[in-house]
Amino acid sequence: MVLLGNFALLLALIAAGYAVVVGLVGARSGREETIRSAEGGMKAAALALSVAALALVVLLLRKDFRVEYVAQYTSRDLSTFYTVGAFWAGQAGSLLLWAWSLSLVGAGVLFTNRARNRDLMPWVTVTIGVVLAFFTALVTLYSNPFRTLPVPPADGQGLNPLLQNYGQWVHPIALYLGFVGFTVPFAFAVAALVTGRLGDRWIRSVRRWTLWAWVLLTAGILFGARWAYVELGWGGYWAWDPVENASLLPWLIGTAYLHSVVVQEKRGMLRVWNVALAIGAFTLSIFGTFLTRSGIISSVHAFAESSIGVPLIAFTVATIVLGTGLIVWRLPELRSPNRIVAVVSRESSFVLTNLLFVAMTLVVLWGTIYPIITEAIRGVELSVGQPFFNTLMAPLAVVTVALVGVCPLLAWRRVSGRHLRRNLTVPVAVGAGVFVVLTVLNRGRHLLIIGVLALGALVLATLTSEIARGLQVRRHHHGESWPRALVNLFAFTPRRYGGPVIHAGVVIMLAAIAVNVGLKVERQAQLAVGESLSVAGTRVTFSDLTFEQTPSKFALIGHFQVTGRDGEPLGTIRAEQAEYTGQQRVTEVGMRSTLAADLYVVMSDVDPSKRVATVLVFREPAVFWIWTGMVVIVLGGVLAAWPWRTDRPGRTGPELELPSSFEEPFEEPEVAR
Amino acid sequence: MIGIAAASFLLLLAVVYLIARPYLAPVRYAQEVSLEQLRADRERLRSQLRELDADFETGKLAREEYERLRARRLQQIEAATHAIREVEGLREPAEAPAGAAGEPTATAPTDEELDRELERRIAERKRLLAELEEAACPTCGTPIEPEDRFCRRCGAALATAEVNEG
């Protein structure tokens, strides 16, 4: 199996290299056979990497401890579910997953474009081929999962207990696929730049790929936030940890890209922006891999450290240099003759969106690499605290949310003030109403949070009216029932109405985060069994301490009674401190969730003989709504990216109202006569 | 061990096959490619049309601009449909002779003639579509918007006559 794995990796490397070299030859000569053969190389690499991945799975399942990777990340008692999940627990396997999924995406792109975009495909093949060859080389030469040990151990070291969570099957995979997916718009942007086909065809061709990449990256990040909250026991979901930032950077630029391309499709503008954003999103996902994998920064994701930093940073720099070079070379053709007609228009609001996202990217980027730079220059490692990010990102996020509320109401080119006033009246009234009511209820406290909530209500009102108007139009113009109109709204114009759903989710999530950050309460105390502490009116009593011994772990379990303001019982919470054999000590968070707030209990430093423990209790308001917002975001993304079949016969008819000549039989083709 | 060797060998064969296939059995791609591209183009134009309708219906586009853009898109869709029908129409007789082997027709054009004619027509249609889609000023080459009557850079009057031919 080890032999087969190594052989498959080698073949994949050769095949990817072949795709690059022959793809270049084909692009120059334009010979169809040569180009197809290069594409065959890419497909062959996908096949070989699939075999390599399968070989690793077999080795893991067999618990073949002769293989270093298997010995490092599995053990005899590890369940099958997590044994397969150990595939991407370490660097070598993660890189193999990267390369494998990229090869599958590449093969998928070649398949869907087998009979279209033929002018772009040689360069798409070459670009994806270069990235694939690079990652396959990393797996084969630097970080090979099939490396064997001279003396196989009797048992493996086992999987990090923090990774023994079903999240191991969601979070890393979604993130990797998201990162990998951004290679597709990158490859098409490069192809468009090289060939000079700078219209919107490349953008439309990669729209679905990009949307899915975005959805997966978003889901990966959000799921990671939730996983951190549930598992890590510090009562938060986002800490501006460098590795979190590494995933946020390509997300921010990718999000800007998704917005910006709309303007090129509608008005042929922002072409420089779009190629730059496509290249930027890809570069940042490589840079993110560098940040995570190079060990240059310390982070909670410390298990990811290693020494493939040099090739990764070299690749990042090469991408930036080549991308910038291509854009500069094509700059004269990229300039659009169209200018923004009015300061207040849909176009200008999209430009503002781009600027906001780029500003957020720069804030996150600077905060992330500042410690590295100071360490390099002054030899001191300074860390940039959460206040830096929070103070800069919060206002930018609020402005972005406000823009979400106004932008859908603006018309292309020029806005009529009367139209805008009419559309804004109801949302503004809703926002103002929410503000007044909440201010009165809170007697003037928490004005900042209430402001954010009121803005959120305003934006939600805009989005709702936007969808309602779309539904009404469908009902009036096409005579559809409400449910039919709802389905068709998404089926015929998925992005137009998937967008508002995503935006609604973002607003819900950000408003809930504002409430959570503003009103979170934290208490810590050393409690003996029988003692209690009080958090925001709720009393948490340490009622009992018990033990649990299983083959893989030894756990101390704290039982906590929760009582309300008037002493009414609200249930029990169970928090754990567990020691896994041969692994570090971990705490299992105990939680009681309601729509209004979570009660979050962490027990540590347990002294079983004195029956004393350090107990940390958080009252986390609105956390449920953060998760709700996340679900809505992902749902909206899926709605927008879903391959709705609108070309089915019978469904396009009334939509298009084609000229009557379409129904006439066409004259016989000349040649047949 | 033998199993592993056999699997490795099979993998090697498959890789070589995937790479060599386009040379071994050169498929004639041209017809498929252009038909598929034309269909993709038409689908793209249709989705633009839907977006346009939705923009207008929700009050984000002025009526005159909407009507101009809409007429333009319909023309483009019509041109694409023409092209598709032509390619399809030409393809069918090319495939038919295999089934109708019994009656050899001296007048029937050879495959090669069909191909050449097809290529010519596709090229023509593609040129037309390209003109419609990413129009450029004939004088200075600056990209122009569908609704422009004069070039924004050099001011040359832009003829729309060729559009109506399609």
In terms of CA atoms, which chain A residue is nearest residue B40? A116
* Whether A49 contacts A100, CB under 8 Å: yes
Spatial separation of the C-alpha atoms in residues A628 and A597, rounded to whole Å:
13
Q: Alpha carbon of B85 to those of A264, A658, B29, B74, B121: distances in Å?
A: 30, 15, 18, 16, 11
Which of B18, B29, B65 has the CB atom closest to A40's CB atom? B18
Q: Give a three-class secondary structure readout of A366-403.
A: HHHHHHHHHHHHHCCCCCCCHHHHHHHHHHHHHHHHHH
Contacts with A47 from chain B: Cβ below 8 Å: 11, 14-15, 18
Name the helix (H) or strand (E) containing A630. Answer: helix A623-641
Spatial separation of the C-alpha atoms in residues A624 and A619, rounded to whole Å:
12
Which of A3, A411, A666 has the CB atom closest to B61's CB atom? A411
Arithmetic mean of pLDDT, A596-625: 91
- Cβ distance of A659 and B74 shorter than 8 Å: yes
> Is residue A665 predicted with pLDDT exceeding 60?
no
Contacts with B113 from chain A: Cβ below 8 Å: 671
pLDDT in tens, A261-316: 888 877 778 889 999 999 999 999 999 888 877 656 555 555 445 567 788 889 99
Name the helix (H) or strand (E) containing A207. Answer: helix A207-231
For residue A506, the Cα-to-chain-centroid distance in whole angstroms is: 13
pLDDT in tens, A433-464: 999 999 888 887 888 899 999 999 999 998 88
Spatial separation of the C-alpha atoms in residues A389 and A395, rounded to whole Å:
10
Spatial separation of the C-alpha atoms in residues A442 and A448, rounded to whole Å:
12
Residue whose tokens read 């694939």: A132
In terms of CA atoms, which chain B residue is nearest residue A666? B85
- Cβ distance of B143 and A336 shorter than 8 Å: yes
pLDDT value for A278:
95
pLDDT in tens, A408-441: 778 776 666 777 787 788 889 999 999 999 988 8
**What single letter denotes the amino acid at residue A110?**
L
Residue by residue, DSSP assigns A143-173 as S-TT-B-SS--SS-----GGG-SGGGGTHHH
Name the helix (H) or strand (E) containing A621. Answer: strand A612-621
- Cβ distance of A36 and B43 shorter than 8 Å: no
- Cβ distance of B74 and A469 shorter than 8 Å: no
Name the helix (H) or strand (E) containing B76. Answer: helix B63-95
- Which residue in B28, B58, B90, B107 has the most chain A C-beta atoms within 10 A of its own C-beta, making it the best mutation to test that interface? B58
pLDDT value for B35:
76
Looking at this predicted complex, what is its ipTM? 0.75
pLDDT value for A13:
96
Mean pLDDT score of chain A, rounded to an integer?
86
Residue by residue, DSSP assigns A413-457 as S---HHHHHHHHHHHHHHHHHHHHHHHHHTTT--HHHHHHHHHHH
Q: Predicted confidence band at A91 (pLDDT cuts at 50, 70, 90)?
A: confident
Q: Which of residues 248-307 of A touch B (CB under 8 A)?
A: 265-268
Task: Kindly indicate whether the domain formed by A165-335+347-391 is annotated with CATH number 1.20.120.
Answer: yes
> Is residue A340 predicted with pLDDT exceeding 80?
no
* Whether A213 contacts A178, CB under 8 Å: yes
- Cβ distance of B145 and A268 shorter than 8 Å: yes
Higher pLDDT pick, B55 / B19: B19
In terms of CA atoms, which chain A residue is nearest residue B37? A116
A532 — phi, psi (to 5°)?
A: -145, 165
pLDDT in tens, A523-559: 999 999 999 899 888 899 999 999 888 877 788 999 9
CA distance from start to end of chain B: 66
* A59–chain B nearest CA distance, Å: 13
Measure the CA angle with vertex A204, ends A201 and A210; round to 5°. 135
Spatial separation of the C-alpha atoms in residues A441 and A447, rounded to whole Å:
11
* A434–chain B nearest CA distance, Å: 27
Q: Predicted confidence band at A323 (pLDDT cuts at 50, 70, 90)?
A: very high
> Is residue A31 predicted with pLDDT exceeding 80?
yes
pLDDT value for A673:
28
Arithmetic mean of pLDDT, B45-73: 80
> Is residue A334 predicted with pLDDT exceeding 90?
no
Give the lowest-confidence range in A169-173, A315-319, B16-20, B153-157.
B153-157
Spatial separation of the C-alpha atoms in residues B33 and B39, rounded to whole Å:
10
Spatial separation of the C-alpha atoms in residues A349 and A403, rounded to whole Å:
7
Arithmetic mean of pLDDT, B118-126: 70
* A274–chain B nearest CA distance, Å: 17
Q: Predicted confidence band at B73 (pLDDT cuts at 50, 70, 90)?
A: confident
Spatial separation of the C-alpha atoms in residues A455 and A43, rounded to whole Å:
50
Contacts of A418 (CB under 8 A, 6+ apart): none
pLDDT value for A623:
93
Arithmetic mean of pLDDT, A319-344: 83
Q: Predicted confidence band at B94 (pLDDT cuts at 50, 70, 90)?
A: very low
Q: Predicted confidence band at B51 (pLDDT cuts at 50, 70, 90)?
A: confident
Contacts with A32 from chain B: Cβ below 8 Å: 22, 26, 29
Contacts of A608 (CB under 8 A, 6+ apart): A545, A547, A556
- Cβ distance of B33 and A47 shorter than 8 Å: no
Residue by residue, DSSP assigns A478-540 as H---HHHHHHHHHHHSHHHHHHHHHHHHHHHHHHHHHHHHHH-EEEEEEEETT-EEEETTEEE
In chain A, pLDDT over 90 holds for what percent of residues? 48
Contacts of A664 (CB under 8 A, 6+ apart): none
Tokens representing A312? 């990764």
Q: Is A379 exposed, middle or buried (0-12, 13-18, 19+ CB in 10 A)?
A: exposed
Spatial separation of the C-alpha atoms in residues A221 and A633, rounded to whole Å:
12
pLDDT in tens, A368-378: 888 777 777 77
> Is residue B68 predicted with pLDDT exceeding 90?
no
pLDDT value for A219:
95
Higher pLDDT pick, A111 / A419: A111
CA distance from start to end of chain A: 63
Phi/psi-derived region of residue A155, left when phi > 0, alpha when psi is between -120 and 50, beta in every other case: beta
Higher pLDDT pick, A266 / A521: A521
pTM for the whole thing?
A: 0.83
* B116–chain A nearest CA distance, Å: 10
Which of B22, B93, B133 has the CB atom closest to A33's CB atom? B22
In terms of CA atoms, which chain B residue is nearest residue A197? B134
Rounded to the nearest 10 degrees, the angle between the axes of helix A2-29 and helix B2-24 is 10
Domain ranges of chain A: 1-160, 165-335+347-391, 402-518+629-644, 521-624
Q: Predicted confidence band at B84 (pLDDT cuts at 50, 70, 90)?
A: confident
pLDDT in tens, A620-655: 999 999 999 999 999 999 998 888 765 443 333 333
Higher pLDDT pick, A79 / B55: A79
> Is residue A117 predicted with pLDDT exceeding 60?
yes
